[in-house]
């Protein structure tokens, strides 16, 4: 940006912008993953709830950018009770903090990465499975 840029009207991307980036990531998925992704809700909040953080043993809410909440497809059964929607949670403030700290990554790329990571959990992949093919965080 130029030296004389007027920052007084600039605001951080809101929940709606993060959600739109996640929906764009979903729309761009290869066909073999797109069908599985359609059954998952996307929810964006500023931070994870206290209960989510406590369940995961996370003290700093900035340490959690996304979370898959549901039953992975590899564990679903016709005997499972209905009524629970699988959700990919994205947490705006930690995402923006990560984005700023990286300094060289487009926000859409970061949101896509987090969304795909959480979708991999929906597909039944563990963090170890994901990290064996994805070196993003190194």
Given this model, what pLDDT does residue 20 score? 97
pTM of the complete model: 0.85
Mention every residue, 6+ apart, whose C-beta is less than 8 A from residue 65.
90, 91, 94, 95, 98, 114
Given this model, what pLDDT does residue 1 score? 47
Closest CA to 88 of 60, 122, 111, 112: 122
**What string of pLDDT tens digits covers the 138 residues of the chain?**
456 778 788 889 999 999 999 999 999 988 888 888 888 999 999 999 999 999 999 999 999 999 999 888 787 766 666 667 899 999 999 999 999 999 889 999 999 999 998 998 888 877 776 766 655 544
3 three-class SS = coil
Closest CA to 112 of 31, 19, 22: 22
Given this model, what pLDDT does residue 136 score? 53
Residue that has been written with the tokens 């699988």 in this structure: 86
> To 10 degrees, what angle do helices 15-27 and 107-122 make?
60
CA end-to-end distance (rounded Å), the chain: 29
CATH numbers and ranges of domains, the chain? 12-69+85-130 (3.30.2010.20)
Tell me which DSSP letter residue 84 carries: P
């Amino acid at each position: 940006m130029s030296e004389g840029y007027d920052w007084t009207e600039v605001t951080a991307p809101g929940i709606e912008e993060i959600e739109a980036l996640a929906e764009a990531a979903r729309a761009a998925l290869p066909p073999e993953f797109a069908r599985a992704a359609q059954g998952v809700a996307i929810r964006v909040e500023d931070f994870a709830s206290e209960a989510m953080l406590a369940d995961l043993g996370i003290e700093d809410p900035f340490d959690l950018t996304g979370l898959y909440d549901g039953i992975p497809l590899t564990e679903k059964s016709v005997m499972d009770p209905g009524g629970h929607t699988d959700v990919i949670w994205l947490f705006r403030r930690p995402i923006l903090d990560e984005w700023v700290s990286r300094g060289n990554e487009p926000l859409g790329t970061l949101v896509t990465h987090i969304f795909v990571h959480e979708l991999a959990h929906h597909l039944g992949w563990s963090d170890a499975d994901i990290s064996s093919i994805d070196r993003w965080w190194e």
